[in-house]
């Protein structure tokens, strides 16, 4: 599937609503097979060229964990991200897009100490966001804290907390784990700085108290 502003990361659980005839057929074939398909973000800069709905060359591949088919032929499903993949070539566009792909392996890009620092650092930054008023459920912190794999935790945090689809795509394409983490940390620090500014402008008051400021 090629979708606008949609980036699938490993570990992430992505809800999808399938309604287009081509994707209904794709889903039928997927469910009869290995239950796996790729989700690629639409390459907006290449849109309007020779290829209809051009995908970014790096995408996420996932497995259908749950699927509910509706009486009208549509379906609701949960796709769990498995890995990063790169498109080698488009095999066909009809009745839906099929491509040859290969999996992209991550590289550490640093040392073990830096890798071990990812989880506590991100959790501390997210807690700071929550303290400053960010609308992040506390369950997110608990879930991220319970993950054992630093890269998996990082990818899930990006999928859950990053609001920029362009940055998400860039981070999906970043093979070095440590560099991916540093780019995401810059985003979190910028979000915290904005929350601090908003808090100062409101005089430290909550939303419901702004009228009293």
- Across the range 48-60, mean pLDDT stands at 85
- Across the range 113-139, mean pLDDT stands at 96
The arrangement of secondary structure in 2-103, i.e. its CATH architecture, is Roll (2.30)
* Mean per-residue pLDDT of the chain: 93
Query: Is pTM beyond 0.75 here?
Result: yes
**Which pLDDT does position 112 carry in this prediction?**
96
**Which pLDDT does position 52 carry in this prediction?**
82
Q: Each residue of 28-39: pLDDT tens digit?
A: 999 999 999 999
- Across the range 48-57, mean pLDDT stands at 81
**Domain coordinates of the chain in residue numbers?**
2-103, 112-212
Domain 112-212 belongs in CATH node 3.90.550: no
Distance between CA atoms of residues 154 and 205, nearest Å: 32
Which residues are within 8 A (CB) of 100 and not within 5 positions of it... i.e. 6 or more apart? 87, 88, 89, 91
Q: Each residue of 128-185: pLDDT tens digit?
A: 999 999 999 999 999 999 999 999 999 999 999 999 999 999 999 999 999 999 999 9
């Amino acid at each position: 599937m090629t979708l606008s502003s949609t980036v699938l990361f490993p570990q992430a659980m992505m809800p999808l609503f399938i309604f287009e005839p081509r994707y209904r057929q794709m889903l039928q074939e997927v469910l009869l097979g290995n239950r796996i398909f790729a989700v690629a973000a639409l390459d907006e800069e290449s849109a309007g060229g020779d290829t209809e709905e051009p995908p970014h060359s790096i995408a996420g591949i996932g497995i259908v964990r749950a699927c509910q088919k509706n009486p009208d032929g549509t379906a609701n499903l949960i796709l769990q991200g498995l890995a990063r993949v790169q498109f080698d070539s488009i095999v066909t566009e009809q009745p839906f897009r099929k491509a040859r792909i290969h999996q992209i392996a991550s590289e550490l890009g640093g040392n073990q100490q830096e890798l071990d620092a990812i989880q506590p650092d991100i959790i501390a930054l997210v807690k700071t966001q929550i303290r400053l008023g960010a609308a992040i459920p506390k369950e997110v912190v608990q879930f991220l804290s319970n993950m054992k794999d630093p890269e998996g935790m990082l990818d899930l945090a990006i999928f859950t907390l990053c609001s920029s689809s362009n940055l998400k795509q860039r981070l999906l394409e970043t093979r070095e784990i440590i560099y991916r983490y540093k780019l995401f940390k810059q985003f979190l620090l910028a979000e915290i700085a904005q929350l601090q500014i908003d808090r100062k402008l409101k005089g430290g008051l909550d939303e419901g108290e702004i009228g009293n400021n």
